[in-house]
Amino acid sequence: MSQFGVESALALQNGSTNQLGLNESSKQLRLKLNESDAELAGKAQCGDVPAFEQLILRYERSARSIAWAFLHDSHACDDAIQETFVAAYQSLAGLRETEKFGAWLMQIARRTSQKLATRVNNRPDQGPSIDEVAEVPLAISSRQRQLLELIERLPENERLVIAMRYFDGHSSQEIADVTGRPLGTVTKQLSRAYERLRSWFTQSEEQVHERK
């Protein structure tokens, strides 16, 4: 997916599909792994496509979490992620604060996902299947399925941070770094989200017991 996203961006810009860093030595690739966002983004702005590909590898999971928070469908999330990285590549030259690449990219992911969510919601007979959410297997437990359904009910800001924590295992600091939100804000949003989920889950369990 990530390589296809960059190739799409290059095709849009140059009218052709390019090889992406396939001839780089393993030593060069290891060096890129240790480079900061600012260094990689700066190189990408100068035409270093493998540097941009490394940024994609670094942020693809975070972008997927944001896409899921709006779309709840694995195929729609794939579309959102591809559009996000194409848009980012095309707009990269205008990024002045390269050290804030992650937060900048997540803003693009958010706008792209919102746009696609509006488009999907306006289609007739278009309802997200819980079995497709974040590529969850059909064999998940009823408890896990219930949790996913409850997460969908969260307010947007809380749904986003809980998705990044629940699906990707990001720490509060990592979520703050990626989204550009203050750490205190992320901590409060996670706390409120957990509180809502506990309350809803308890209510749901009580209703089940009452019906028995």
Helices (H), 92-141: 101-121
Q: Are residues 116 and 29 in the same domain?
A: yes
Same domain, yes or no: 121 and 150: no
132 and 181 share one domain = no
Residue 14, pLDDT above cutoff 50 = no
Beta strands in 11-138 (DSSP E): none
Residue 70 has pLDDT above 80, yes or no: yes
- Asked whether residue 144 falls in the same domain as residue 47, the answer is no
Same domain flag for 81 and 119: yes
User: Do 131 and 153 share a domain, yes or no?
Assistant: no
Q: Are 20 and 97 within one domain?
A: yes
pLDDT category, 93, cuts 50, 70, 90?
very high
pLDDT band at residue 119 under the 50/70/90 scheme: confident
Same domain for 57 and 154, yes or no, is no
Q: Which of 110, 138, 166 is the last residue of a domain?
A: 138
Is the pLDDT higher at 32 or at 119?
119
CB-based contacts of 23, cutoff 8 Å, min separation 6: none
Tokens 């703050």 label which residue? 176
pLDDT > 50? residue 15? no
Higher pLDDT, 43 or 24: 43
Give me the chain's average pLDDT, please: 78
Do 80 and 165 belong to one domain? Answer: no
Q: What is the structure's pLDDT at 65?
A: 87
Average pLDDT in the 8-37 region? Answer: 52
Q: Determine the pLDDT at residue 33.
A: 65
From the number of C-beta atoms within 10 Å of its C-beta (0-12, 13-18, 19+), residue 60 rates as: middle
Structural domain of 64: 1-138
Q: Is the pLDDT of residue 133 over 80?
A: no
Q: Does 64 share its domain with 109? A: yes
Domain termination residue (choose one: 138, 158, 192): 138
Catalogue the long-range contacts made by 45-50 (C-beta closer than 8 Å, 24 or more residues apart). 45/92, 45/93, 45/95, 45/98, 49/6, 49/10, 49/18, 49/20, 49/21, 50/20, 50/21, 50/24
Encoding tokens for residue 49? Answer: 């496509």
Q: Residue 170 is part of a domain; what is its CATH number?
A: 1.10.10.10
pLDDT band at 139 (very low <50, low <70, confident <90, very high): very low
Q: Which of 115, 138, 161 is the last residue of a domain?
A: 138
Q: What is the pLDDT of residue 172?
A: 92
CA 4, distance to chain mean position in Å, is 17
How many structural domains comprise the chain?
2
Q: How many helices (H) and strands (E) does the chain have?
A: 10, 0
Q: What is the pTM of this model?
A: 0.67
